[in-house]
Chains A and B, each alone.
Chain A
Amino acid sequence: MSGNMNINLKVWRQKNEKSQGKLVDYKVEGVSPDMSFLEMFDVLNDKLIRDGKDEPIAFDHDCREGICGMCSMYINGRPHGPNQGVTTCQLHMRSFKDGDTIVVEPWRAAAFPVVKDLAVNRSAFDRIISAGGFISVNTGNAQDANSLPIPKDNADEAFAAAACIGCGACVAACKNSSAMLFVSAKVSQLALLPQGNPERNSRVLDMVAQMDAEGFGACTNTGACSAECPKEISLTNIARLNREYFGAQLSSNRT
């Protein structure tokens, strides 16, 4: 087919968490510019399976429409590749040129150990959410819609924070492997709404404590997280997290 591309890949291969990994060269031929980055990997894996010499490359993916937060490739030095506001599954090969060499690595962080090849264990995020990223609701009849007045500005900001899909690109982009943008989005989406108020203090204290315990680095406000976030979560959330945290430390009944 005309217009198809040949791509040179350098992909991180690692058998398991304990083993030593390395970059391995692959050549993928006849790549359509309309393929997504993950489909290009499907083509490569198909070939690897047919050849039978090498195991297929393990990588995380699920919805492939940019909303699940599962895909996690560090492409040419940037999480989710060169485009702004997209996940790897929404990155298309037309963003690259014929003959390009592309380096693909897993997210790198002490808190995100490599499971295999490009798949990393992001359950540290789940444990942070379990520590307080929720609201407690008694079951029963659903409340009438709009019975709780919420200012439009707050609703908009909470919604923008709630757009976080927990993919971990913020951690991957940060030079300190800090999870502050993720935690700040998860704290903000509830701190801005009345439903989040009853557990407001305990939420931020517990989530930050869990974040530190997981071994993420500290935030130095480089802004790399927000610049690489596929959902473009704003740095104002990190400022809000700081306010919420120090406010909770100063005012909560916990001693």
Chain B
Amino acid sequence: MNWITKMFSSSLGQKLIMSLTGLFLCTFLVVHMIGNLQLFKNDAGLAFNKYAVFMTTNPLIMITSYLLYATILFHAFKGLWLAYKNQKARPVKYQAFDGKANSHWSSRNMGILGTIILVFVVVHMSNFWWEYKNGHVPYTRYMENIQTGEIVSDYMPKEFTMHTKLEEQTEGLMKVTIVKDLYREVAEEFKTEWWLVALYVISMAALAFHLFHGFASAFQTLGLNHKKYNGIINFIGIGVFAILIPIGFAAMPLYFFIK
């Protein structure tokens, strides 16, 4: 074995892989959050739908997205495999075990929390990503008054299709956009399926606890634990990744459910 295989097959190296893939997934969460904030925009979904077209046609983003899917699968199954192997390191369990006396609940249940998140990702992607790419998502026409900014939208007939996902043209003062309406899919799904909203909220709670431990833990694995920057790592880990981002994502289905 050469040194690279040795390093990545050691217990420390395997944790390094979990740490780096986990942090990459954290950067994705930030991008996904910022993009999806357009769902809250009061424009009948015009900005969000145009963003969806950009995200699924830009070649650089498409390459990154396939790298992302591979990373999600790798992080999830590598994590489950490591959790299984770590259990094997204690073949006889304790009769009395007082875990809460010495560690946080989330740190002892990363495998369970991660599994909830993995199930969520599968449901989430089959609902929207698969539907958008392979299902029949109807088009919507937006007419935007360039001077006043006023937007009027009407749904295209269900059987209407185009070769592209997006067409834009300006007629006088009117900017006309015809685009695949993912926004309507999202809005209708969350309006009608209460159990889906519940699944999203529960999954985001799992994400919050997963990142409450995971974000800071990733830096510890990288060897970065120092009083100079532990403050900022914990602040971002808890403030941003364990609170702000899960609440932001959970607010999206709740917004459409209540709206």
Contact = CB atoms under 8 A, between A and B. Distances in A.
Interface of A: 10, 12, 23, 74, 76-78, 82, 103, 105, 108-111, 173, 175-178, 208-209, 211-212, 215-224, 227-228, 235-236, 238-243, 245-246, 249, 254-255
B90 A217 contact: yes
Contact of A242 (B2, B90, B96, B222): B222
B86 A218 contact: yes
Contacts of A249: 3, 6-7, 13
Contacts of A236: 225-226
Given A78-B102, A173-B102, A242 B89 contact: no
B134 to A, nearest CB: 38
Interface residues of B, number: 44
Nearest to A175: B108
A238 B16 CA distance: 13
Given A105-B96, A239-B220, A219 B102 contact: no
Nearest to B98: A77
B223 A111 contact: no
B177 interface: no
A163 B85 CA distance: 30
B91 A110 contact: yes
A211 B94 contact: no
A110 B89 contact: yes
A246 B224 CA distance: 12
A240 B110 CA distance: 23
Contact of A76 (B3, B13, B89, B98): B98
B95 A246 contact: no
B104 interface: yes
Interface string B71-82: 000000000001
B86 A217 contact: yes
A78 B101 contact: yes
* Residue among B12, B87, B221 with the highest chain A CB neighbour number at 10 A: B12
B95 A103 contact: yes
B99 interface: yes
B93 interface: yes
Interface residue SS majority, chain B: helix
Given A223-B103, A227-B103, A110 B88 contact: yes
B92 interface: yes
A215 B89 contact: yes
Contacts of A103: 95-96
B97 interface: yes
Given A74-B94, A238-B220, A218 B15 contact: yes
Contact of A108 (B14, B90, B102): B90
B102 A224 contact: yes
A255 B94 CA distance: 41
A105 B94 contact: yes
B213 interface: yes
Nearest to A22: B95
A5 to B, nearest CB: 20
Nearest to B100: A77
A239 B225 contact: yes
B186 to A, nearest CB: 36
Given A227-B103, A249-B3, 9 more contacts: A77-B99, A108-B90, A110-B88, A177-B86, A221-B221, A239-B226, A242-B221, A243-B223, A249-B7
A11 to B, nearest CB: 11
Contacts of B222: 242
B3 A175 contact: no
Contacts of B87: 176, 217
A249 B103 CA distance: 31
B85 to A, nearest CB: 7
B220 A221 contact: yes
Interface in B4-61: 6-7, 10-16
29 contacts: A10-B95, A74-B94, A105-B96, A109-B89, A175-B90, A177-B86, A178-B11, A217-B85, A217-B87, A217-B89, A218-B12, A218-B14, A218-B82, A219-B12, A220-B15, A220-B110, A221-B217, A221-B220, A223-B103, A227-B102, A235-B225, A239-B220, A239-B224, A239-B225, A242-B15, A242-B16, A246-B7, A249-B7, A255-B2
B234 interface: no
Contacts of B15: 218-220, 242
Given A74-B94, A110-B88, A219 B11 contact: yes
A178 B82 CA distance: 12
| Pairs of residues from A and B, 10 with the lowest C-beta to C-beta distance, nearest first | A77-B98, A217-B89, A243-B223, A239-B225, A176-B86, A227-B102, A242-B223, A218-B11, A217-B86, A222-B107
